[in-house]
């Protein structure tokens, strides 16, 4: 699959995430970083995959690094995510780059972006992401 076709598929089919390589396509409609954490937990070998994602903040960038994704295209990317991915040698394309990702209500910053704002190490970022996800889930109950 070519990147342009993957971007069109993401937009036209309402996906939030699309991973692809020469032989496989993985799609997701769930929002946030949870699908990436699930892939990581499932020990999916993503080293040959590229990603097309609606929104890539710093938390998602750390997860892409941990997954071994080789290229990321984001409809929206945060400045910190862009710098982080590029710093790890991951090719990045995007439509819009913003200073920080906002929360879903648009009233502040994304809780995942905030959870990893000061993180520099992918492993410690993963711990912060898991803690933030757990806190969000407990508030939803």
Q: pLDDT tens digit string along 11-38?
A: 999 999 999 999 999 999 998 899 999 9
- Read off the pTM: 0.94
Backbone angles phi, psi at 33, to 5 degrees: -90, -5
pLDDT band at 85 (very low <50, low <70, confident <90, very high): very high
| Distance (Å, whole) CA 68 – CA 48 | 8
94-118 average pLDDT score = 90
Range of the structural domain that residue 61 is part of:
3-140
Give the sign of the dihedral formed by CA 55, CA 60, CA 66, CA 67.
negative
As a dihedral over the C-alpha atoms of residue 79, residue 59, residue 116, residue 135, rounded to 10 degrees, the angle is 140
Backbone angles phi, psi at 72, to 5 degrees: -130, 130
Domain of residue 55, CATH code: 3.40.140.30
What is the spatial order of strands in the sheet that 50-56 belongs to? 25-28, 17-20, 50-56, 71-78, 91-98
How many domains does one find in the chain?
A: 1
């Amino acid at each position: 699959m070519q990147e342009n076709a993957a971007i069109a598929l993401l937009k036209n089919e309402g996906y939030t995430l699309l991973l692809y390589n020469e032989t496989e396509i993985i799609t997701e409609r769930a929002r946030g970083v949870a699908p990436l954490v699930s892939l990581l937990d499932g020990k999916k070998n993503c080293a040959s995959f590229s990603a097309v994602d609606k929104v890539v903040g710093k938390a998602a960038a750390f997860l892409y690094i941990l997954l071994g994704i080789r290229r990321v295209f984001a409809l929206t990317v945060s400045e910190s995510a862009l710098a982080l991915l590029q710093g790890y040698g991951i090719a990045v394309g995007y439509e819009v780059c913003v200073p920080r990702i906002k929360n879903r209500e648009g009233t502040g910053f994304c809780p995942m972006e905030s959870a990893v704002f000061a993180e520099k190490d992918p492993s410690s970022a993963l711990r912060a992401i898991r803690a933030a996800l757990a806190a969000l889930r407990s508030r939803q109950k």
